[in-house]
């Protein structure tokens, strides 16, 4: 009897996983206004291969790894965030920022090769579908020097409460995978501007829910 229940549960989990996978990358639209601050880039909204954001700005090395670029407005606010955090004894640096189409393609293909497509699609955006191509997304690292384990840091707790004040949102929250199409990413923040960031934070909304 127990075995039967377990088998049914297992099948249900498989179906659910498959659901998540199948509900995305359908009805893909090309993004018309890729340079606006609140642009929606996801599995349904695609950037062109040739799109390079305007006003890319190089982050100084006290707030980031070398040669990392964000769109100017996002960069200025990230610098403010990181430097203010530092004053309060929190170490928050950018480890991945703007990525071009070609680079994203390589990243995604590597994921598929190593983990298979279903899993790759949960963790990595297909080329043209990554927010990193807009220059508005930033992956951060904290005082444990491991962005993958950013959720275990005091910096993560600080970011959860304060990122919106600088115009950033936690883009792929826990338990919203079925909406965003991506697994929980405590390290990935997206600049949307202060007004929208505050609204999304206070109402616990993803960018997808806002646009719906
Ligand atoms: Zn990211």
Cβ atoms within 10 Å, residue 179 = 17
Q: Are 187 and 139 in contact (CB under 8 A)?
A: yes
* pTM of the complete model: 0.90
**Domain range summary for the chain, segments of one domain joined by +:** 28-100+129-211
Residue-wise pLDDT tens digits, 102-134: 999 999 999 999 999 999 999 999 999 999 999
pLDDT of residue 23: 79
Q: How far is CA 209 from the centre of its chain?
A: 15
Place of tokens 């936690």: 170
Q: Are 85 and 155 in contact (CB under 8 A)?
A: yes
Tell me if the domain spanning 28-100+129-211 has CATH number 2.60.120.260: no
Residue 66: active-site member? no
pLDDT of residue 15: 43
Compute the distance from residue 132 Cα to the ligand 1 centre, in Å.
6
d(CA 37, CA 201): 17
Q: Which of the residues 55, 177, 185, 208 is marked catalytic?
A: 185
Is the confidence at residue 7, as pLDDT, over 80?
no
Residue-wise pLDDT tens digits, 58-110: 999 999 999 999 999 999 999 999 999 999 999 999 999 999 999 999 999 99
Copy the structure tokens of residue 101.
């189409």
Compute the distance from residue 178 Cα to the ligand 1 centre, in Å.
18
Q: How far is CA 124 from the centre of its chain?
A: 10
Place of tokens 């039967």: 4
């Amino acid at each position: 009897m127990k075995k039967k229940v377990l088998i049914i549960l297992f099948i249900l989990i498989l179906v659910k996983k498959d659901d998540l996978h199948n509900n995305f990358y359908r009805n893909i639209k090309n993004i018309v206004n890729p340079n606006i601050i609140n642009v929606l880039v996801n599995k349904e909204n695609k950037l062109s291969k040739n799109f390079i954001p305007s006003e890319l700005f190089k982050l100084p090395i006290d707030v980031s790894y070398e040669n990392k670029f964000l769109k100017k407005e996002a960069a200025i606010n990230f610098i403010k965030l990181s430097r203010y955090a530092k004053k309060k004894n929190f170490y928050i640096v950018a480890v991945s920022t703007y990525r071009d189409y070609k680079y994203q393609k390589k990243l995604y293909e590597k994921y598929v090769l190593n983990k298979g497509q279903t899993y790759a699609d949960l963790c990595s955006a297909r080329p043209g579908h990554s927010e990193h191509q807009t220059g508005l997304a930033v992956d951060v690292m904290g005082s444990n020097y491991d962005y993958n384990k950013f959720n275990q840091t005091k910096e993560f707790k600080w970011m959860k409460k304060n990122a919106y004040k600088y115009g950033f949102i936690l883009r792929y929250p826990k338990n919203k995978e079925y909406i965003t199409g991506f697994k929980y990413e405590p390290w990935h923040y997206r600049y949307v501007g202060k007004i929208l960031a505050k609204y999304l934070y206070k109402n616990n909304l993803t960018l997808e829910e806002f646009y719906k």
